[in-house]
Chains A and B, each alone.
Chain A
Amino acid sequence: MQGYLRAVLTSIGVLTVVSATLLPSVHAHIHWYGNDNGEWQEDGIPTYVNVEAWLNPQGLAFNPPPHGEISLQYNPDKDQSIWFQNGPSDWFQTVIATNSSGCAHFNIQVWNIISGWLGYHTQFPLNTCVTLPAIMAWDAGWYINEYETNNVITSVFFELWGFGFQPYSVTIYPPHNWIWIRSNICWCGSNYDTVTFTTAQGTLYYLSDKNLVKEDPPADIGTTEDSNMDYTCFQGAGTMRMSQTYNIIGQQC
């Protein structure tokens, strides 16, 4: 999830692309940390690929960054997107973002990696959010499921649930242009922010109808936002259900 300042990078976009495969990212100081989580790939062409973030045994708390929001980002690999995404060079991203009050919104954003332009964005609810405080509490669930036909992403299902409220969900049908590319998950800030979580522990589950293959963290970080989140190694690689835990106590893969 990148802010509008991304346009500033337009003039050096080509240089970024050329150097992407040659140089380590300046953002990635530590793997399996913040925006540099491990990636997963599909062993075949899936019809859905989802991630479910459970908050356990504690919820989320954070020092509000400048823009006040955190996000759960489902991000495709940047270098793979440059070469293989339709557009080309579009970077398709799905995001659940919320402020510290649990005022959440669901997003699909497509950035052009070369130009730096926001190529597409849709949000629900538009220009507002829905307040669900329990999504920050223990045992809450954050869920993003990307559906595909012939590897083209046809719809994205978002859902939040927790104690004391009905699950809140929306399915968004984006334009039928973008394909699924190996991805990772980031607990991050929003709008260029790096967020500092003060409480955070839980499990990420990855499910698909094809076997999941674990990959190293990306050579080139796609998203600008960052955090102090640690991620452990994937469990269950080679099956259709993989998991990893996250925390802020220094346990990494």
Chain B
Amino acid sequence: MPSNSLISTSYSVNRSLSTFIGAQLVVFPYQIQPGTVLYVGLYLNGQLGAAENYTLKTSYDNPAYVLGDVKNGVGNFSNSRVVFTVSMIRLKATISAGTQITVTAWASKPIWLQIDKLPLTHSYETSWVGPTPPSVILPTAGRVAECTLAVGGTGS
């Protein structure tokens, strides 16, 4: 993903959650530039619920490498991933089924993120100087991104 862009991806919660909700983005530890910062935001029906910021390391235990060629900004990588999470734990109120969850990613320098090859939705991209995510977001604001980010979610 490019730097200084806010990429949002939304899904609906399929059952009510009373304890925690978490989301994750998957980054390939490949060509990470020094000082790269990643902000991950978690929104419930467009309202910011939690945010995390991470300073990425330039070297991880098992760096990834590209298998084959990179085409149109998409490549295949070796078996190494870094998972960044954002979560709301010890929920004070139940999140009802049907709540729209939006996960945003913003990076200060370009990074390689895992994409969803069989997406059920789109990711949306807007220009955002960052770094902190906005407090309110319209999930479909911006242009449709060329690829949908692989966003994982867990909850209980």
Given contacts A119-B90, A120-B87, A122-B22, contact A171 B152 (CB under 8 A): no
| Complex interface: chain B residues within 8 A of A168 (CB) | 79-80
Q: Are B83 and A120 in contact (CB under 8 A)?
A: no
Which of B7-15, B54-62, B140-148 contacts its partner? B54-62
Complex Cα spacing A170 to B81, Å: 5
Q: Are B156 and A121 in contact (CB under 8 A)?
A: yes
Closest to B26 in A: A124
**Which of B20, B85, B90, B156 lies in contact with A172, CB distance below 8 A?**
B85
Given contacts A117-B156, A121-B156, A123-B154, contact A169 B79 (CB under 8 A): yes
How many residues on chain B are close to A (CB under 8 Å)? Answer: 26
Residue A174 interfacial (CB < 8 Å): yes
Interface residues on A, range: 20 to 34
Residue A164 interfacial (CB < 8 Å): no
Question: Chain A's interface: helix, strand, loop or mixed, by majority?
Answer: strand
| Complex interface: chain A residues within 8 A of B19 (CB) | 117-119
Complex Cα spacing A119 to B90, Å: 7
Q: Are B89 and A173 in contact (CB under 8 A)?
A: no
Q: Are A166 and B79 in contact (CB under 8 A)?
A: yes
Minimum CB–CB distance from B112 to chain A (whole Å) comes to 14
Q: Are B22 and A171 in contact (CB under 8 A)?
A: no
Complex Cα spacing A47 to B44, Å: 35
Interface pairs A-B: 3 shortest CB-CB: A126-B152, A169-B62, A168-B79
> What residues of chain A have their CB less than 8 Å away from a CB belonging to chain B?
110, 117-124, 126, 130, 145, 157, 159, 165-175, 177
Not counting A168-B80, A169-B81, a sample of 13 additional A-B residue pairs whose C-beta atoms are within 8 angstroms of each other reads A118-B156, A119-B156, A122-B87, A157-B60, A159-B61, A167-B62, A167-B80, A171-B61, A171-B81, A173-B52, A173-B82, A173-B85, A177-B89
